[in-house]
Amino acid sequence: MLIKKTKLNNVNMKQLTSFLALFLLITQSFGNLAEPLGNQQDQQESLKSYSKYDFVSGDKVIYYDDFSQDAVGDFPPNWFTDASGEVMTTNLFPGKWFMLANEGLFFPEKGVALPQNYTIEFDLLPIQEDEEAEIGIFQLAIYSSREDELYDMGGVPGNAGIEINMGSYFSYRSYDENKDLQNDLWNYALKANQVVRVSIWVQNSRLRLYSLGSKILDVPQGLTKGFKYNQIRLNTAEAGETRFLISNLRIAEAGSDQRSKFMTDGKLISYGILFDVNSDKVKPESYGALKEMADIMKENPDVKVKIVGHTDSDGDDAKNLDLSKRRAENVKAELVKTFDIDASRIETDGKGESEPIESNNTPLGKSKNRRVEFLKL
């Protein structure tokens, strides 16, 4: 079975029957895979195919949730909703996932005080029985909440914000008291039963959306200056027969000059170089972060660097050490192969879980410990 445990609250019997049938079909369709489907897809994609994917993760994490500390079958305690949902695991994709019930609104429970420059990233998995049918709509809203209602349940939340719709097509709506701009993008569509990484980069009022290997949106005045943006909201009101699962939600402050920081401090910590769980293969979405380091080395041809991999404390110490070393080696390989950096300028090492920079007792702390460091030699 794809679901290891199921406990849906406030969902009627018809929905539950359909839900179980859907997952049974997915299990039968994919069979027993030797590794997660996400790994196989990544192996079929070249890093170079992401050459216009200039997204770079923010370096100061302010919110992170991978649901790793939540009980399977329960609604995650750090979230708020007017519907229902549950944490689950699958036999196709690693980690834990938050399944969002249809026709619901979902919020990080305490809200998020968003700085002027920040990134939002998460993994999104739309699942449905008929893979050829149109996918329902999943919406992410970033907004400035009304003073008396942090969890705005209205169709258009807050005083100002932007709504991004994803599914069989992409669209956005940017609004405040003086504007209401909308646009549909028909050249992009999610695929059923496949994980996609969604990345958003906000710089003051400018919003860029990256997914499916492309920069999908670039809206210079997407967010209105003068408003305090303090909430994100997920919406499944038009999901239809699609069930949406999310994981690895990360919000981080961005905007620091990494090049100057590296040359001055002699160290750059990257959270934008991505790997699947227990994998040493660099994911294509890492292109922007790798290019950032490659540009530094090209602008400073006398500089040599050491790449050091780090993990969190989950799992066996020896395996984590070996994994961190292999990840560092593969980062070097991509810099050499994709960006033509001289291999003699790069050393590698791995520290496993031995040098944490935060406690491993929380998902946020673990997310900060999983990193790649570049040290100037």
> What would the pLDDT profile of 101-144 be if each residue is shown by its tens digit?
999 999 987 788 899 999 999 999 999 999 889 999 999 999 99
Cα 175–Cα 177–Cα 180 angle in degrees, nearest 5: 35
Structure tokens, 252: 């981080």
Cα 367–Cα 121–Cα 363 angle in degrees, nearest 5: 25
Regarding predicted confidence, which is higher, 43 or 89? 89
In order of their start, the domains of the chain are: 13-32+60-253 (2.60.120.200), 258-376 (3.30.1330.60)
Q: Three-state DSSP class for 154?
A: coil
Give me the phi and psi of 22, to 5 degrees please: -60, -50
Rounded to an integer, what distance in angstroms lies between the CA atom of residue 175 and that of residue 180?
4
Regarding predicted confidence, which is higher, 9 or 306? 306
Render pLDDT for 175-188 as a digit per residue (tens, 0 to 9).
998 999 999 999 99
Contact between residue 88 and residue 99 where contact means Cβ atoms under 8 Å apart: yes
Residue 84 has pLDDT above 90, yes or no: yes
Contact between residue 147 and residue 159 where contact means Cβ atoms under 8 Å apart: no
Contact between residue 231 and residue 157 where contact means Cβ atoms under 8 Å apart: yes
CB 146: neighbour CB atoms within 10 A?
12
Q: Which helix (H) or strand (E) holds 107?
A: strand 105-108
- The single residue listed with the structure tokens 């429970």 is 109
Regarding predicted confidence, which is higher, 343 or 132? 343
